[in-house]
Structure 1
Amino acid sequence: MLSQRKNCDKVFIGSIDQGTTSTRFLIFDNDGVLVTSHQLEFDQIYPQPGWIEHDPIDLIKSVNKCMIEAVRKFEMMGYEASAIKTIGVTNQRETVLVWDKNTGKALYNALVWCDTRTAPTVKKLRTKEGSHKVAHMCGLPLATYFAGVKLRWLIENVSEVRDAIKEERAMFGTVDSWILYNLTGGKDGGVHVTDISNASRTMFVNLETQAWDDWLLEFFEVPRHVLPKIVSSSEHYGDMASGPLQGVPIQGCLGDQQAAMVGQKCFSQGQAKCTYGTGAFLLFNTGESHVTSKNGLLSTILYKLGPDAPVIYALEGSVAVAGSAVKWLQNNIGLIKSEKDIGKLAAQVDDTGGVYFVTALSGLFAPYWRDDARGTIVGLTNFTNKRHIARATLEAVCFSTRAIIDAMRNDALVPLQILKVDGGLSNADTAMQIQSDVLGIEVERPAMRETTALGAAFAAGLAAGIWKSTDELTKLTVNAHDTFEPKIDEKKRNKKYKEWEAAVERSYDWTRVVGNDDSESDEDEDDEKAH
């Protein structure tokens, strides 16, 4: 039989990748090679402007369906399901659920990480005594993004949640907790845990102690009894309670951006990865040192690969506009017909002809933090054509990425060794060559782009003994990669970046020019600039 013919020495690892718009189950072998996968999208719920929810049942159903279909494909390829020895989980971070431990049912839809209904909650929290201490303790600013303020909103606005907390039957968790609870039995013995990387996104964890912090819990008025147990990112949490992989241990868990770092093998201090999606998301490994940013970056826990392993920290930064700038050229301006055209068009010229495009379409994020900035194109002449604009758009992403990385270097005082990249825009060779030129270091792009799911698989495989150490993972060479090396000298690189910074300055203050009341005082304007 075919299944017997393929019943070799290889072992396999399953990986659940539960994202914002879809869920996937992927199966890797012990060389880190992707064997097969299945993906399902699920509904996004928009009750009001700015509100984004997920049906908790949809999340679990999509996980189970993807697992069933991926295992079916795996068996059709001639393998046996019993060859899958362990499972890892990676998830959309900061999305929040509360459920009833007696019934196992969610008490409200999941509040998605990008939901902004908590803006009034954040405003109120900022007025509380001691609010200035929060970011220093947990590494995260008071913002709608993070899980803690979402739980606070649920407590204040959903009576079912409030009653369940009073009666001590409420269970709080991010998506990893919800998945692990349900897959290990739900109300019939399911575990209530969260890994340290996800826990660090709640605002309830003290980065120094790596534990739930009594002061932070008191500040957010959250009782400790609703919280899951914090576990490492690589250990045995429980076994699959049902389905085609019943009895298989779940042994890895990481938030999605941290999982991508592990999948990219960024195990050394000074290594960084950038995921180019709608925006660009950067993480910088700071090793066992917790770094408090002075440049508007986030401090977070990267991973803890085993109960007795050290905690590894990271700095995070995000570029607001990356792939969305390309979409803007396509949909709003009609400059390109497809996102894939951007690289081809930009490659038709050697430079931008002196054009710089500051893509501040909704202000500038770190390290500038200027919500008064707006999109600005400077340097236009009779010589300028659409190819120059296309290239200037890619350069904007790369210059913005350098600004974040420079901030990370200044915070961490550690030289950047290499930038590993993934995400949609990384597929454009021209963009990645520009990125290498702008940074003056190598940019490495893996041939196998499923780095997030691979990171969860690595975490599970380490706990299962499939791999003995991160050194062994680093030596895996089956996944080829493309390397882009700088092709311009330091003098030209610095000159271009200086010109970029001058262009950025010209994008400032535009919201004060257009649409503002002239009666606003200069003093108020200066205060707002400083903020």
Structure 2
Amino acid sequence: MVHIATLDVGTTTVRCFITNDNCEVLGTATERVDLLNPQPGYFEIEPEALWAKIVAVINNAVRQAHLTPSDINSFGLSTQRCTFLTWNHETQEYYSNFITWKDLRANALVDQWNAGLIVKTLNTVSYALYLITRSNRFLAASVLKMMNSQVTTRLLHEVQTNKRLQEALRRKEARVELLDSWILYKLRSGNGLQTNIEHISDITSATATGLFDPFTLCWTPLAKFLSGIEFALLPKVVDNDYKDFGNIHPNALGPEWHNSSVSISASISDQTAAMWGSQCFERGEVKTTLGTGAFLNLITGSTCHASVMGLYPLVAWQFKDALEKARTVYCVEGASNDIGTVIEWAKQCGLFNDPMETSDIAHTVPDTNGVYFIPAFSGLGPPINNPRAATGFIGITLSTTRAHLVRAILESIVFRTVQLCETVKAETKFTLKLLRVDGGVSRNDFICQLLADATGLQVERATSIESSILGATYMAGYNMGLWNSFGDLHKLRQIERTFEPRTQYQLAIRERMAHWMKAIKRFENWY
């Protein structure tokens, strides 16, 4: 019997699942991530506190499975993207906490760069090159803007404001660590026992940072120019089937592991993991993860898509073939960063006690009674692309009830997701046939049915919504030869429910969405 341990480090939770070769779950463990908010707009994670939770969930999951570390054959890792820290890996001195992808400390820098001469010159030159070459890559660069969710400006902010980091950079002692590269280093080095461990990050994590060019598949020469960081301080970017991931060091996870030898078989970013977990392997297949944010990913195959509407071209995954030549599969991503955060905010405001209640609450009223909600705590992404948009309700009257407010919030989540679907369709010219959903918010039947009705697509929800965990497990097993083809993986997928579009409701829903888009205009450029 083969046993795979899979660790998923997300924005809100750290989880570990132990599965067998039939992907049956034998043991699980979960810990909440302590998200620090030292100043308004700052979102950090203390690294050693996070490491303690990682060690705890792995050990607790193994115990719950009634196994020992020696019984584990393979380890897979899935991590949130664009969360980074700077440190001296030899002395273990941190120059900052993890600065997460939701952090807004670089807002002023983003505005400064986007309004500045450099970005405007880059846009102008790129458009001129597009007119000469007709390359969509240059057309995309002609509308390029800095974004908070990428590493670039947040790293530049640290370089400009962190005195200890500045001194370490001067002494050439600092290292930039993405979440996956830091975890891999801790696991492979025995929590810093060895300091000569290779500094690596998988390509799906690197490609989302804004410092990596998916067209040339390397750290962009603009990285030093934009952040002041030398290439040598960034991780080596490796394939998803990298042969030298090695083993978990016997001293990394506690005394129980001293006699074990567990192979690290896969490291991937959470959205690639979710694509694998949703079994989106073929060109044109699409999934939407409804978690802390909504992330819609469509496989574009061997083509790296250049977007002019705010979508993000990414490496979906990359393997080596028999001749050690890279085989790269691309995807395009649209994101709405406030989905689960909106649900959590509404709960804290007392609109409901349990997110699972929201579907029933929404069904108690036929509509929102003219109330609309704009979910823009982090601004609005594609196709609106306005970081200054505000969050709020509009249309409240004396007859507005709690149920109307809850329904308006759920509808806003669907409408943002519909916008992402339509943007992807318009840019890629793919015809979408099926939308696979995962993530905690996808458990909401009201959202899934309304999404089917609004898009006219079947919405498919698997039995397990833990797609990032499942996908990292699939990739670990695939890399170790447990499964030899995507066909083998298809046999493991179990569908819990398919939501069929109800065409009789589509017109009314689209009319409501049109009013909601008018409401957005009232909230744009508020900040």
TM bucket by the smaller chain?
Answer: 0.7 to 0.9
Larger C-alpha radius of gyration, 1 or 2?
Answer: 1
Q: Measure, in 1, the Cα distance between the counterparts of 2:155 and 2:91.
A: 20
In the TM superposition, what is the alpha-carbon distance from 1:177 to its structure 2 partner?
0.4
Gap change, CA 1:361 and 1:42, over 3 Å in 2? closer
Gap change, CA 1:105 and 1:15, over 3 Å in 2? farther
The code of the aligned residue for 2:262 comes to V
1:276 equivalent in alignment to 2:284: no
Q: Structure 2, unaligned stretches of length 5 or more?
A: 127-136
1:205 equivalent in alignment to 2:212: yes
Give the aligned partner of residue 249 of structure 2.
241
Q: Structure 1, unaligned stretches of length 5 or more?
A: 1-9, 517-531
The code of the aligned residue for 1:239 comes to N
In the TM superposition, what is the alpha-carbon distance from 1:94 to its structure 2 partner?
1.0
Moved more, 438-447 or 273-282: 273-282
In the TM superposition, what is the alpha-carbon distance from 1:482 to its structure 2 partner?
1.4
Give the TM-score normalised by the residue count of structure 1: 0.84
In the TM superposition, what is the alpha-carbon distance from 1:320 to its structure 2 partner?
4.9
Q: SS state of the match for residue 11, structure 2?
A: coil
Q: SS state of the match for residue 118, structure 2?
A: coil
Superposed CA deviations along residues 287-318 of structure 1, whole A, max 9, x for unmatched, are 22111222222222222245645222222223
1:16-415 matches, within 5 Å, as 16-74=7-65, 76=66, 79-126=67-114, 127=116, 129-130=118-119, 132=122, 136=140, 141-185=145-189, 186=192, 187-236=194-243, 237-242=245-250, 243=253, 244-245=256-257, 246-306=260-320, 308-327=325-344, 330-332=347-349, 335-348=351-364, 351-352=366-367, 355=370, 357-360=372-375, 362=377, 364-369=380-385, 371=388, 375-377=392-394, 390-415=406-431
Q: Measure, in 2, the Cα distance between the counterparts of 1:310 and 1:177.
A: 22
Give the TM-score normalised by the residue count of structure 2: 0.84
Please tell me the root mean square deviation across aligned C-alpha atoms, in Å: 3.1
Kept in 2: contact 1:98–1:173 (CA 8 A): yes
Superposed CA deviations along residues 62-95 of structure 1, whole A, max 9, x for unmatched, are 2222222222222x2xx45433211111112111
Give the aligned partner of residue 441 of structure 1.
457
In the TM superposition, what is the alpha-carbon distance from 1:272 to its structure 2 partner?
1.9
Kept in 1: contact 2:374–2:390 (CA 8 A): no
Q: SS state of the match for residue 23, structure 1?
A: strand
Kept in 1: contact 2:83–2:178 (CA 8 A): yes
Q: Percent identity between the aligned chains? A: 27
Q: Measure, in 2, the Cα distance between the counterparts of 1:92 and 1:353.
A: 34
Kept in 1: contact 2:89–2:195 (CA 8 A): no
Gap change, CA 1:139 and 1:265, over 3 Å in 2? farther
Name the count of aligned residue pairs.
496
In the TM superposition, what is the alpha-carbon distance from 1:336 to its structure 2 partner?
3.9
Kept in 2: contact 1:23–1:66 (CA 8 A): yes
Kept in 1: contact 2:143–2:308 (CA 8 A): no
In the TM superposition, what is the alpha-carbon distance from 1:211 to its structure 2 partner?
0.8
Superposed CA deviations along residues 334-379 of structure 1, whole A, max 9, x for unmatched, are 5544322221133345x42874624356564422345456645559
In the TM superposition, what is the alpha-carbon distance from 1:425 to its structure 2 partner?
2.5
In the TM superposition, what is the alpha-carbon distance from 1:409 to its structure 2 partner?
0.6
Kept in 1: contact 2:368–2:408 (CA 8 A): no
The code of the aligned residue for 1:207 comes to P
The code of the aligned residue for 1:255 comes to S
Gap change, CA 1:343 and 1:510, over 3 Å in 2? closer
1:483 equivalent in alignment to 2:489: no
Give the aligned partner of residue 134 of structure 2.
none
Gap change, CA 1:364 and 1:125, over 3 Å in 2? closer
The code of the aligned residue for 2:332 comes to L
The code of the aligned residue for 1:193 comes to I
Kept in 2: contact 1:138–1:205 (CA 8 A): no
Give the aligned partner of residue 508 of structure 1.
521
Gap change, CA 1:249 and 1:122, over 3 Å in 2? same
Q: SS state of the match for residue 327, structure 2?
A: coil
In the TM superposition, what is the alpha-carbon distance from 1:128 to its structure 2 partner?
5.1
Superposed CA deviations along residues 251-302 of structure 1, whole A, max 9, x for unmatched, are 2111112211211111122222222234423222222211122222222222
Give the aligned partner of residue 523 of structure 1.
none
Kept in 2: contact 1:140–1:299 (CA 8 A): no
In the TM superposition, what is the alpha-carbon distance from 1:394 to its structure 2 partner?
2.8
Gap change, CA 1:336 and 1:63, over 3 Å in 2? closer
Q: Measure, in 2, the Cα distance between the counterparts of 1:28 and 1:294.
A: 42
Q: Measure, in 1, the Cα distance between the counterparts of 2:455 and 2:18.
A: 35
In the TM superposition, what is the alpha-carbon distance from 1:469 to its structure 2 partner?
2.4
